[in-house]
Structures are given as structure tokens and as C-alpha cells.
Amino acid sequence: MSRILALAVIGFLPAVSVEAEELLEYQVKAAFLLNFVKFVEWPPAAFETSESPMAICVLGDDPFGSTLDRIVAEETVDGRRVAVHRIKSPPPPKSCQALFVPKSEKDVVKTLRETGPGVLTVGEKEGFLHDGGMIVFEIENRRVRFSIHQIAAENGGLKLSSRLLSVARSIQK
Amino acid sequence: MPFAESFRRGSRDGFFLLRRNRFPRLAVLLSVSLTLDGQPDQPGSQIATDTLKTLSLEQLSQIEVTTPTKAPVKVLQTAAAIYVITGDDIRRAGATSIPEALRLAPGVEVARIDGSRWSIGIRGFGSDLTRSVLVLIDGRTVYTPLFAGTNWDVQNVMMEDVDRIEVIRGPGGTIWGPNAVNGVIDIITKPAKETQGMLASVGGGNEEQGFANFRYGGSNGKDFNYRIYGSGFTRGPEGHPQGQNFDDWRNVQGGFRMDWKKSARDTFTVQGDIYDEVAGESVGATSYTPPYSQTLDANAALSGGNLLARWKRVLDDGDDIQVQVYYDRTDRDTPNYSEIRNTFDIDFLERIRLRGRQEISWGLGARVDPVDDRVVISGLQFIPNKRTDYLLTGFFQDEIGLVNQRLSLILGTKFLKTDFTDGISLEPSARLLWTPDDKQSVWAAFTHALRTPSDSEENFYLLGYITTTANGTPYFARFNANTNFAPEQLNGYEVGYRRLLGKNLYLDATGFYNHYHDLFSEDLAGGPFLETIPSPVHLLLPAQFRNGLLGYTKGLEIAPEWRPKDFWRLRGSYSFLHMNVGRSPNSGDVGTAPTIVGSSPQHQATIQSAFDISKKLQVDFTYRYVSALPGQMIGAYSTGDARIGWRFSRQFELSLVGRNLFQPSHYEYGGDPLGLVGIKRSIYAKLTWSR
């Protein structure tokens, strides 16, 4: 018999919260997000004005708490202030430069379809790249890693630095 | 009655020769290395934001964000007495074998008999033939239908590969079926994704004379991960006052695992191991011809391997199905018997989530084992010597959420049929789990479980020498096969309570009452008579293994865990066991009950301290107390282990481990024909390199 059998059987109520671990996991993911926007080049048309902030948007349920805000506080990228927005639906054009899609998001395909070009889409759910996303976080050996869908990024008008590509766990072309 | 006395001794010795070959006892679920809310094992649950911002992409990729056991967190929500030993626990305890690692779990009786043999029981009935604990390695059942127990000497895994060992005390018959009567021991290795890169470790000491492990893990960078490993050890004999240092032990082993995540829906795993061992044994042996009774000191040649494949598919609505097949070959060539057993097993499982908070699981399984037993000594025979054992199982279980997910009821039953049972046997259970809040849970369970008969009851002839009569005729007792041996039966009642007290203290308490009937007994089956075949003519006292005992056990297990500081973890356990086993009316049992009752400790206690002096330096201590085993002539003992681990560079760790430190040697269990074997104080050093 397999242990899956066991899993099937006893104790199937919702798991107790794993706040601590998630805290650390999302601290690291938040730090990655800040790094991503530093290592990606956007076309000028992706911003409202030359003064507009570099907006990292979190869709739906926010897993970061205040972590992401603290990470980006006082950070600038190419002279733009980095800002965090929480949004409930796919962003209108030019309002977000990076979009984080948490795993709580149900219909990833629809979300990505409704997100226009010029937005770096970052997810954490399996199959995110397959669904049309650009960067996905993965847990490997208990560490946060990420994989990249280079074509999707290029189609969105974004240029990923070679440094980002070199650290990625895998690159799909 | 000196006659019965001599019979007992004869039979016991005879039985021990069987035991010498390791006939052992068998009995689930989720885990914990409870990361007490807010304090993961790994470096720094909180990293200062300023620090994080300065880390490079590469450095961010190196931060460990989860503890080795993530699933475990569900322990609080488990309606069974589960304890999880993590890979990290094993490393920090310095355990070099699965049995030694099992000492970390409360309620488990681990007693080392000699170098390569252990008595491992749960909630009583411990012996090297332990028949009511079910042991699995990555979904492969390693219990043998030969004696319904586990050959611990060939259940070696590379300890660095172990993700966790889930120990379930109490019956798990509904899911696990035969032999999951007193407990289940589920050994789970890491997925290939978790073992990428290279790892090598070498070491040695006075008992662990030398060992080496090597592992390499690779991937295609996407959906396919694999690892291969090779390992070996040579262990010296334990303490022998009479000087017979028979129990040295050498092993070489290798294996692999491949995980392929073909799509979001389909996952495939293929894994296998192959091993070759030499283990020194000392066994009593009886034959019809002179010298009727002797003690053989010789090496057992043990080899085998296994190959397992598993396919899991997630269906559109979140349900899932799983199919698993495996093959296992066990080849034991020992001083008093020889067996080649090939096991083929297939299992199917489906899990269906229904609206209205129900989750249904059902499954089917089939196993066949063609076996060939070759006679080595005439007094120990399986007839017919070529047979095929089989097992067919089905199970159904429904978990029903009752009140706002705070109360749930789990009802289910197993159906099983083996070549040793008539008709279909049922193993029903009912479990109730109440979680008033996220910090505590209360559970209760009733289970009916069976220990199905095995070859050693149904096809086995075991001779014991009593004496030679005045006219020179040898006088033997013999256990004859009993094809009517019935399953041993248990009705188990359990209650448990778990609670997180504040952020740093966790408490787990379980009480149980188990009522058994049709328990294994050793019965006289008539008066002595002259038997001419096999020759020479001899006087024979016939005996049989029957179902003549019944009784109950009751007990209490308490396992607190306290983290006074981030860098210090203290765990303790106390287990109390009371056994009452006796003859049923009309039983002809010759008096096995006192031995059974006297072979499991009434009290056991452990204290473990895991202290991180710095991120590079860890110090661990373990203390354990085990009360006397009058049935084995073993006194109570206390002893302790210690380990210092120093990670002196990113790639290297050096550790020094001392085990059984309180005395030069101590006795833990009887069972060898030449008397008790002292388990020695041992020390070893180990260097681990990984990248």
C-alpha cells in the first residue's frame, strides 16, 4: 500500500496555518520580485509618463503582508520609485509593470489573457509558464528558485537581462 | 512438571532457531516535526528586510524557506497517534540504521538483540518475530508472509535520502490491511528533486567500523529529476562475554529514483534498489540425526532488490487516482534455512472529493509471492517448499466534515483475502476528529484489525530436541503445520489530545485499550509417540501453533516538545504499557503468555535535546530509560547518545557520534542461543561533503 493511501485516510481537514514558513518564503519571493524589476527592461510605452513609478501589482489575496512594501521602500529603478499596488482584477494598460499572481488565483489563463503586453507576469503555481506566464517561482531543495518563459517575455515587449537568465532554474524558449 | 518444562525449553530453543533467521511483528499517516508555529527549523525564520535587499539573485536562491517536512503540519489534524521522525532528526541523532532511528519515536519498543537483529514492537508484543507492525518503504510493504514480520537486516536505506519516517501507533488495518495491527512504520525517501547535486559521506569507529555513501542527483532542468546512490558498511560484533563474536555484518547497496512530472496532471516515479549482505548469525539447529541439537555460527548471505513504478494523475475536478506496481526479490541463505521469495504487487487508489464536505477513498490491491524454501537442516522445514502466497485487498473510506470543518467523521473498512484465510475478512474502523480551534484537537477511534496467518503457522514444521531416552532413542518435540490457524484479532479503542501551548510548547497525549483474541499460542497437540519417518525412529511430542491466547493491553503515551529558544529544541516522551495475556479456555498453550507479557517494557522514557551553538555547530543529546523485560531476563537500563556536528565550510560537515554512552555495554533483549549479547558503547566520526 502506498503512503498516499494513508494520506487519503486520516486527517484531511484544512491544514493548520504555516505562517512562519510562509513568512520566510514570501520574504524571499518579495526580494526576488524587487530583483526582477531591476533586471528587466521595459519599453517606454509601458509607463504612463516618464515620472510614473515602477508598479509591482499583487493580484487578489496578498500573501506578502507588509513584507513586499518594506522590501521596496525607498527603492528606485532607472530613476523611478518602486511602488506596490494591490488589485482585484487584471490591470489596465500602463498601470502595472509587474504583476504577481498568487497561487490562490483560480483562473490563471484568463487573468493572463486579460493582462496586456508590457507587464512582467510572475506566478507561483505549477503550469504558470504553460498558461502564458513569464516567470514562475518554484520550490526546489527547500529553496525558492524561478524559471523563465523567454518567448512570452519577448512577446510582451520585455527584455530580460542575461544575469536573470543565468540564475534561472530553467528557461523555456 | 519437568516434562512440560523440558518441552518448553526444547520448543523455545527450536523456536529461537527460527527467530535467528529473523522472523519479526507488524501495525498512519501524516506528519509533524511540528514546526511550532512561527519557528521553522531552518536558518532564520525572519531575515531583516535590509539584509534581504542586499542579497544577490544567487544568494536568494540559497535560502531554505521550508522545513524538511512540510506536509507534517497536518499532524494536529490527524485522527491517529502519529509521530514523525524527520531526516534532520535522524541526522542529528547520528542513527545509522532504520531500527536505531525508530528509537526517536514514543511508544515504539526498540531492543537490539545483537549486531544485525532487533525486536521492534509498538504497544507491546515486541520480539524479533514481531508480527503485528506493518513496515513500508516508499509504498512498498516489506513485511514477509513467511512469518508475518520484517527482516530488519535487509531494510537498509541511505539515511541521507530519508525524508521522514511516519510512525503510527495503533491499528491501521482499514487502510493498510494485514499486519497493521499494533502500528505502521512508513519510511519515506526524498523526491529526486530534493537530492540534486552530489553528496558523499565516509566514516568509521569501533562498532561502525567503516561506511561510505555516495549520491548524485541530476535533472533535465525542467520536469525530470533523478538520483543514483551507492552505499556500504562494515559493522563489528557486539559484546559477547563468551567470546563468540559471530555478529559482524557487511552490506553493499545501490539504487536509483526517477521522478517525471509529465504535466500538471501526471506524475511518474520509478525507483529501485539492489543489495548484497553478509551477516554473522548464531542459531540453534535441531536435526533427526546426531548430533540432534547444535549451535551453528555461520554467515547468512542475504541479497535482493526491488523495482517500483507509480503513476499519479490529478483529474479535472481535483480528484486523483494512483496506480503503483512493484517487484521485490528477497534471497536469504542462512545457517538453518534458505528462501527465495519474489513478490509482485499492484495497487490502485482513487480519492474523490464530493460536495457537502465528503471525501471518499477507495482502492484495490493484489500481491502474489512465489516462494522457494530449501531445507538446510532437517528440523526446520516448510512443506510444501514451493508455494505461492497471495493477498487480495480492497478498501473504502468516507471522510465526512460535520460541523463547519471543526468536526469530522471517518468511516471505512478493508476487505481482504489471503491464501491463509477462508472467505473475505473485514477490518472496519471509525474515527472522530474535533478541532475546536487551530491550537488543539481531540480524536477518538475504534478499529478492528487482523494479523493474517503466515507460512510459519500454516506450512511450517519445527523440531526441538528434548532428550535421549535410556535405550538411546532420541526424543523430540515438533511444531506441526496448522492449516487452520485463524487470523489474530484486535478491537482497538483510542483517544488522543494535541495542543499547542503558546508558541513554544506542543503536547501530544494518547491513551489506548486494545482487546485481542485468537492470539498466537504454542500448544501441545497430544502425547508422545514413536515416529518412524523421518528416520531414525524417534519419540515425538507433537505440538502446534494455535490461536489459544487472548487478553488486553492498555497504555498511555505522552510526547511534549518545547522550544525555549530558536536554537534549542527539547523533546520528551513517556510511554506506559500494561499487558494482560492469558490462555483461553480449552487452550493447550504451554505457557507462552508470560514470555509475551514480559518481553515489552512497562515504562519507557526519552529526553532529546537539540542545541545549535551557532549555525555551524550543533550539539545533540538523547537520554533513554527502558524498564525491565522479565520475559527476556533483561534488567531496566538507562543510556544516552551524543552528537557534535560541525559544518566547517559550505560543503563539508564533520560529526562525532557516541552511542550507548552510559556503560561499556548493556543488554536489551534475549534471543540468541549462546546467551545475552551486550550492546556496546560505540563512537564514530563522519565526514559529509555535499554540493
At B55 the pLDDT is 79
Report if residue A3 sits inside a domain.
no
Report if residue B56 sits inside a domain.
no
For strand A80-87 and strand A54-59, is the pairing parallel, antiparallel, or unpaired? parallel
What is the average per-residue pLDDT within B78-90? 88
Q: Which residue has the higher pLDDT, A28 or B552?
A: B552
Tens of pLDDT, residue by residue over B19-43, are 322 222 222 222 222 222 333 333 3
Query: How many domains does the structure of chain A reveal?
Result: 1
Which of A7, A13, A71 is closest, CB to CB, to B52? A71
Distance from the Cα of A106 to chain B's closest Cα (Å) equals 13
Domain extent at residue B296: 2-33+68-690
Q: Kindly identify which residue of chain A lies nearest to residue B71, measuring between CA atoms.
A: A15
Give chain A positions within 8 Å (CB) of B399: 9, 12
In B, residues 430-469, which contact A (CB 8 Å cutoff)?
Answer: 431, 433, 435, 438
At B624 the pLDDT is 97
Which of B45, B67, B221 is closest, CB to CB, to A170? B221
Report if residue A31 sits inside a domain.
yes
- Most B-contacting residue of A13, A135, A163 (CB-CB within 10 A), to test interface: A13
| CATH number of the domain residue B258 falls in | 2.40.170.20
Cα–Cα distances (Å) from B212 to A63, B190, B608, B655, in that order, read 44, 19, 27, 14
Asked if omega into B291 is within 30° of 0 (cis), the reply is yes
User: What is the value of pTM for the model shown?
Assistant: 0.76
Cβ contact A13–B77 (<8 Å): yes
Residue B470 touches chain A, beta carbons under 8 Å: no
Distance from the Cα of A129 to chain B's closest Cα (Å) equals 11
Report if residue B244 sits inside a domain.
yes
- Amino acid at position B295, single letter: T
Three-state DSSP class for residue B593? helix
Phi, psi of B512 (to 5 degrees): -145, 155
Give chain A positions within 8 Å (CB) of B30: 6-7, 10-11
pLDDT value at B60 more than 90: no
Cα–Cα distances (Å) from B525 to B286, B288, B482, B520, B588, in that order, read 20, 20, 11, 15, 7
Nearest-CA neighbor of B441 among B391, B493, B509, B394? Answer: B509
Cβ contact A18–B70 (<8 Å): yes
Domain extent at residue A100: 16-172
At B73 the pLDDT is 41
CA distance B399 to B420: 31
Cβ contact A141–B57 (<8 Å): no
Report if residue A55 sits inside a domain.
yes
Report if residue B328 sits inside a domain.
yes
pLDDT value at A7 more than 70: no
**pLDDT category of residue B672 using cuts at 50, 70 and 90:** confident
* A92 C-beta neighbours (distance < 10 Å), count: 11
Mean pLDDT score of chain B: 87
pLDDT value at B1 more than 80: no
pLDDT value at B142 more than 80: yes
Q: Which residue has the higher pLDDT, B298 or B129?
A: B298
Report if residue B38 sits inside a domain.
no
Are the CB atoms for B400 and B358 separated by under 8 Å? yes
pLDDT value at B158 more than 90: yes
CA distance B140 to B515: 29
Are the CB atoms for B156 and B97 separated by under 8 Å? yes
Report if residue B41 sits inside a domain.
no
Cell of B545: 501453533
DSSP string of B234-266, one letter each residue: EE---B-TT------EEEEEEEEEEEEE-SSSE
- Amino acid at position B602, single letter: Q
At B90 the pLDDT is 95
Residue B166 touches chain A, beta carbons under 8 Å: yes
What is the average per-residue pLDDT within B478-505? 92
Question: CB neighbours of A18 closer than 8 A, spacing ≥ 6?
Answer: B35, B70, B73
Nearest-CA neighbor of B131 among B399, B453, B445, B350? Answer: B453
Cβ contact A28–B65 (<8 Å): yes
Nearest-CA neighbor of B628 among B652, B584, B597? Answer: B597
pLDDT value at B628 more than 80: yes
Q: Is B252 exposed, middle or buried (0-12, 13-18, 19+ CB in 10 A)?
A: middle
What is the average per-residue pLDDT within A161-169? 88
Which of A9, A30, A142 is closest, CB to CB, to B175? A9
Helix H, strand E, coil C: the string for B476-491 is EEEEECCCCCCCEEEE
At B356 the pLDDT is 66
Radius of gyration of chain A (CA): 17
At A141 the pLDDT is 67
**Total residue length of chain A:** 173
Are the CB atoms for B550 and B518 separated by under 8 Å? yes
Are the CB atoms for B690 and B199 separated by under 8 Å? yes
Report if residue A152 sits inside a domain.
yes
Are the CB atoms for B506 and B500 separated by under 8 Å? yes
Residue A10 touches chain B, beta carbons under 8 Å: yes
Q: Which residue has the higher pLDDT, B636 or B360?
A: B636
In B, residues 213-252, which contact A (CB 8 Å cutoff)?
Answer: 221-222
Give chain A positions within 8 Å (CB) of B60: 28, 31-32, 35, 144
Cα–Cα distances (Å) from B557 to B85, B231, B561, B594, in that order, read 16, 36, 13, 23
DSSP string of B366-427, one letter each residue: EEEEEEEEEESSTTEEESSSEEEEEEEEEEEEEEEEEETTTEEEEEEEEEEEETTSSS-EEE
At B130 the pLDDT is 84
Any idea which of A106-110, A162-166, B9-13 has the lowest mean pLDDT? B9-13
At B571 the pLDDT is 93
Tens of pLDDT, residue by residue over B425-467, are 999 999 998 988 877 889 999 999 999 999 999 999 999 999 9
Tens of pLDDT, residue by residue over B316-362, are 776 889 999 999 999 999 999 999 999 999 999 988 877 667 788 89
Three-state DSSP class for residue B211? strand
Give chain B positions within 8 Å (CB) of A24: 40, 42, 44-47, 63, 65
Q: How would you list the strands of the sheet with B81-86, edge to edge?
A: B81-86, B162-169, B183-189, B133-137, B140-141
Cβ contact A9–B39 (<8 Å): no
At B84 the pLDDT is 86
| CATH number of the domain residue A48 falls in | 3.40.50
Give chain A positions within 8 Å (CB) of B44: 24
What is the number of CB-based contacts under 8 A between chain A and chain B?
A: 201
- Most A-contacting residue of B31, B50, B74, B494 (CB-CB within 10 A), to test interface: B74
Report if residue B45 sits inside a domain.
no
What is the average per-residue pLDDT within A65-78? 87
In B, residues 40-79, which contact A (CB 8 Å cutoff)?
Answer: 40, 42, 44-47, 49, 52-53, 55, 57-58, 60-68, 70-71, 73-79
In A, residues 83-102, which contact B (CB 8 Å cutoff)?
Answer: none
CA distance A153 to B399: 45
pLDDT value at A9 more than 50: no
CA distance A132 to A110: 10
Report if residue A66 sits inside a domain.
yes
What is the average per-residue pLDDT within B390-412? 86
Report if residue B565 sits inside a domain.
yes
Cβ contact B264–A4 (<8 Å): no
What is the average per-residue pLDDT within A109-132? 91
Report if residue B52 sits inside a domain.
no
In B, residues 9-38, which contact A (CB 8 Å cutoff)?
Answer: 28-30, 35, 37-38
Give chain B positions within 8 Å (CB) of A14: 77, 405
Asked if omega into A117 is within 30° of 0 (cis), the reply is no
CA distance B396 to B413: 6
Q: What is the ipTM of this complex?
A: 0.79
Nearest-CA neighbor of B464 among B452, B475, B448, B450? Answer: B475
DSSP string of B35-60, one letter each residue: --TT--SSS-SS--HHHHHH--HHHH
**pLDDT category of residue A173 using cuts at 50, 70 and 90:** confident
Any idea which of A121-135, B397-411, B477-491, B615-629 has the lowest mean pLDDT? B397-411
Residue A50 touches chain B, beta carbons under 8 Å: no
DSSP string of B1-18, one letter each residue: -HHHHHHHHHHHHHHHHH
At A22 the pLDDT is 55
At A54 the pLDDT is 94
Query: How many domains does the structure of chain B reveal?
Result: 1
Any idea which of A57-66, A122-131, A136-145, B62-71 has the lowest mean pLDDT? B62-71
